[in-house]
Amino acid sequence: MTQSALTDSLRHLDLRRFREVSLLVAGDFMLDEYIWGRVGRISPEAPVVVVRVERETRTLGGAGNVVHNLAALGAKAAVLGLTGRDRPAEHLREKLTALGVDAGGLFADPDRQTTRKTRVVGEQQQVVRIDRETPLPGGPEYVRFALDFARARLPGVQGLILSDYAKGALPPELAPELIRLARERHLPVVVDPKGRNWRRYAGATVLTPNQKELEEVLGRPLGEAAELAARGQELRARLNVACLLVTQGARGMTLLDEAGALHLPARTPREVFDVSGAGDTVAAVLSLGLALGLPLPQAAALANTAAGVVVTKRGTAPILPGELERELTGYVHREEKVVSLRDLRFILAHLKAQGKRVVFTNGCFDLLHVGHVKFLEDARRLGDVLVVALDSDASVRQVKGEGRPILDQEQRQRLLAALAAVDYVTLFDSAELPRILAELKPDVLAKGSNYPEEQVAGREVVEAYGGEVRLVPIREDISVSGILHQIRNG
Ligand SMILES: Nc1ncnc2c1ncn2[C@@H]1O[C@H](COP(=O)(O)OP(=O)(O)OP(=O)(O)O)[C@@H](O)[C@H]1O
Ligand SMILES: [Mg+2]
Q: Which domains does the chain have, with CATH numbers?
A: 3-29+61-112+135-329 (3.40.1190.20), 341-488 (3.40.50.620)
Give the ligand at the shortest distance from the Cα of 280.
1
* pLDDT above 60 for 283: yes
3-class state of residue 122 by DSSP: strand
How far does the centroid of ligand 2 lie from the alpha carbon of residue 285, in Å?
Answer: 14
* pLDDT above 70 for 333: no
3-class state of residue 36 by DSSP: strand
pLDDT of residue 312: 87
Whole-number percent of the chain with pLDDT over 90: 81
CA 87-90-94 angle, 5° bins: 140
Task: Identify the H or E element spanning 87.
Answer: helix 87-98
Predicted confidence band at 334 (pLDDT cuts at 50, 70, 90)?
low
What letter represents residue 5's amino acid? A
* pLDDT above 60 for 475: yes
Predicted confidence band at 332 (pLDDT cuts at 50, 70, 90)?
low
pLDDT of residue 482: 84
pLDDT of residue 330: 67
* pLDDT above 80 for 150: yes
Average pLDDT, the chain: 93
How far does the centroid of ligand 2 lie from the alpha carbon of residue 148, in Å?
Answer: 28
Torsion of CA 319, 322, 324, 329, to 10 degrees: -170
- Provide the angle, in degrees to the nearest 10, between the axes of the packed helices 175-184 and 140-153: 10
Nearest protein CA to atom 5 of ligand 1, as residue? 308
Nearest protein CA to atom 9 of ligand 1, as residue? 249
Mean pLDDT over residues 8-18, rounded?
Answer: 91
Alpha-carbon separation of residue 220 from 197, 209, 214, 411 (angstroms): 15, 15, 9, 59
Mean pLDDT over residues 89-113, rounded?
Answer: 97
How far does the centroid of ligand 1 lie from the alpha carbon of residue 66, in Å?
Answer: 14
More confident residue, 8 or 70: 70
Give the ligand at the shortest distance from the Cα of 277.
1
Cα separation, 326 vs 150, whole angstroms: 36
pTM of the entire predicted model: 0.87
Mean pLDDT over residues 104-132, rounded?
Answer: 96
Question: Contact at 8 Å (CB) between 216 and 316?
Answer: no
Mean pLDDT over residues 323-339, rounded?
Answer: 76
Q: Which of 203-207, 304-308, 477-481 has the lowest mean pLDDT?
A: 477-481
Dmax over CA atoms of the chain, in Å, equals 84
Nearest protein CA to atom 19 of ligand 1, as residue? 279
Mean pLDDT over residues 159-181, rounded?
Answer: 97
Mean pLDDT over residues 4-29, rounded?
Answer: 94
- Closest ligand 1 atom, CA of 304? 31
More confident residue, 89 or 41: 89
Residues with CB under 6 A from ligand 1: 210, 247-250, 252-253, 266-267, 269, 272, 275-280, 282, 304, 307-308, 311
Identify which of 267, 275, 276 to mutate to test ligand 1's pocket (most ligand atoms within 8 A of the CB). Answer: 275
Active-site annotation, residues: 280
How far does the centroid of ligand 2 lie from the alpha carbon of residue 247, in Å?
Answer: 8
Mean pLDDT over residues 131-147, rounded?
Answer: 97
pLDDT in tens, 58-89: 999 999 999 999 999 999 999 999 999 999 99
Predicted confidence band at 335 (pLDDT cuts at 50, 70, 90)?
low
Predicted confidence band at 455 (pLDDT cuts at 50, 70, 90)?
confident
More confident residue, 227 or 402: 227
How far does the centroid of ligand 2 lie from the alpha carbon of residue 449, in Å?
Answer: 50
Task: Identify the H or E element spanning 310.
Answer: helix 296-310
- Closest ligand 1 atom, CA of 253? 29
